[in-house]
Structure 1
């Protein structure tokens, strides 16, 4: 890990090719929170592809419009959700509709990291 960034709505762990984000319990993720993601992307991933992993260890809500804004980050090439395997598959499928980049659900963080790295590798070799 390169750095841990504390945000008012959670924290982000920055790695060389991706972020792992942990949202606070009970919040609603709003589109305006993307400003923080954009700033992190510009600081740590300028001009290089990166991935975003949300590790849903806490319960929180997401305004799906967040994904429309997130999809506009040019160098974001992969988005992964890590959560309990019992999460309603329909929630993930709904969220997927709003994303315009590769988007997958995982029950283990390490699997999500490997998947994100594989997408970045494919993207970098094009």
Structure 2
């Protein structure tokens, strides 16, 4: 398969207090800023942008964890309220601590977060998952 990052056109990039968000046609990549506590309120802020870019279309969410930050795992129980059209949730992790965090987050997010060791594999999986969901 060809390189998804090179083939997918970046539609819009936002540099926000909570981090950088990159919007592509059917998915976003978020790089939460160093030291931020990503919680329900920050997710609501991000949802304004997802609504703007995706409307009521299905989309994929990729958390590219290049920085160290905290999050409120229990807020994952409300994620479908904030992002009702999310169909694929991937996280790119780079160490054991981040992998452990994903296991804990999955205890609260029933749909499941799939962990990857690089951004390319995460993008490929999200694109494939969105394609498969649209075929069903």
What's the CA shift for 1:9? 1.2
Q: Deviation per CA, 1:1-25, whole angstroms, max 9, x where unpaired?
A: 1000121111100010111001111
* CA distance in 1: counterparts of 2:114 and 2:45, whole angstroms: 22
Partner SS state of residue 132, structure 2: helix
Q: What secondary structure sits across from 2:29 in the alignment?
A: strand
More helix by share: 2
Q: Which stretch shifts more, 8-17 or 83-92?
A: 83-92
The TM-score, its normalising length taken from structure 2, stands at: 0.85
Q: Could you list the runs of 5+ residues in structure 2 that have no partner in the other structure?
A: 1-9
1:65 aligns with 2:65: no
**Is the contact made by 1:34 and 1:69 (CA closer than 8 Å) also made in structure 2?**
no
1:7 to 16, 19, 38: 16
TM-score (norm 1): 0.91
Residue 125 (1) aligns with residue 110 (2): no
- How many residues matched? 126
**Backbone CA RMSD of aligned residues:** 1.5
